Amino acid sequence: MTRRVAIIGTGWVGTSVAMATLQAGVADELWLHDARSAVAEGEAMDLAHGAAFYPPCLVRAEPDLAALRACDVVVVAAGRNGKPGESRLDLLRDNARLVADIGRTLASGFGGIVVLVTNPVDVLTQVMTEASGLPPARVLGTGTMLDTARLRQMLGAQLRLDTHSIHAQVVGEHGDSEVVLWSGARVGGMPLRQWHGWDAATLEPRIALDVRRAAYEVIQRKGATNHAIGLVTASLLGTLLRGERRLLTVSRLQTGAAGLSGVALSLPTVVSAAGGSEVIEPAMDEAERAALTHSAEVLRAAIGTLAG
């Protein structure tokens, strides 16, 4: 079976997603769509010229948005980027209109999965779910996958350990109200808080702040974040297209897990060929549970501004 992936939006993020996807070898065909059709064509040509250096994949531009219904996964990376000093929620109104239009176009006859990358990703995941009418399991945002990766990288640097030895998660909003689950963090199977030399009172607030501010720091220096999210998205695509059944902190419209419904945010979710079909309630202490509830309230308020 031919595995087709479409990417809507060929700016910094979309092209990083495309490059990472090609190098990961998870797709047989990669379709690029952009409102600037010449840019999509140019990116497709440029990527295709490197075919000798990645696993076989046909790369082409597709100017007709409706044609993307033939793809297994449609990645939405369209929309404007954040500006220095701007929160992800400041992007809301402009990008919500665009995502809703895409969702309505895909609504008829689309049997695949939509992956949202555009920020604010949680709110736009909900907008896409409602506009397209697709089941929540088939509309996923990259959510806190990137925040979780940043957390693990920073913990690895602090502990002088390989990132793969660290198991820790960020849940909730991909943004300022995100929640680091310190109580469940593990290093080689040992609770992080039992690790020799770990000073929770000092290190946990500092690292949580660094994770939360990571995107702002990158945007201040280069104007956008693109490479890490490209790698994150390619990894998510591999899980979907290979049916790997991995637990990932993706965003989706919640329907009862952790007592949350009617809001899209990240919780550990079983991701497979069917999408994000099973949401797992992680172990949380009282402070983490309260913070997750607050994160949901922040996102509900953001969604509420669209109705006003």
Tokens standing for residue 69: 């219904």
Per-residue pLDDT tens listing for the chain (308 residues): 899 999 999 999 999 999 999 999 999 999 999 999 999 999 999 999 999 999 999 999 999 999 999 999 999 999 876 677 766 566 788 899 999 999 999 988 999 999 999 999 999 999 999 999 999 999 999 999 999 999 999 999 999 999 999 999 999 999 999 999 999 999 999 999 999 999 999 999 999 999 999 999 999 999 889 999 999 999 999 999 999 999 999 999 999 999 999 999 999 999 999 999 999 999 999 999 999 999 999 999 999 988 75
Residues of each annotated binding site: 9-14, 34, 95, 117-119
Rounded CA separation 210/178 (Å): 12
Active site annotation includes 49: no
What pLDDT is stored for residue 305 in this prediction? Answer: 87
Q: CA distances (Å), 24 to each of 120, 230, 238, 289, in order?
A: 26, 11, 8, 36
* pLDDT score of 92: 83
Give the relative orientation of helices 145-159 and 227-242 as an angle to the nearest 10 degrees.
Answer: 110
Q: Which domains does the chain have, with CATH numbers?
A: 4-141 (3.40.50.720), 145-307 (3.90.110.10)
* Side-chain-facing half-sphere of 273: CA atoms under 13 Å: 5
Residues contributing to the annotated binding site for NAD(+): 9-14, 34, 95, 117-119
Q: What is the pLDDT of residue 292?
A: 98
Q: Which of 49, 164, 174, 294 is catalytic?
A: 174
Model pTM? 0.95
* Helix/strand/coil for 187: strand
Residues 6+ apart with CB under 8 A from 90: 82, 83
- Tokens linked to 205: 């607030």
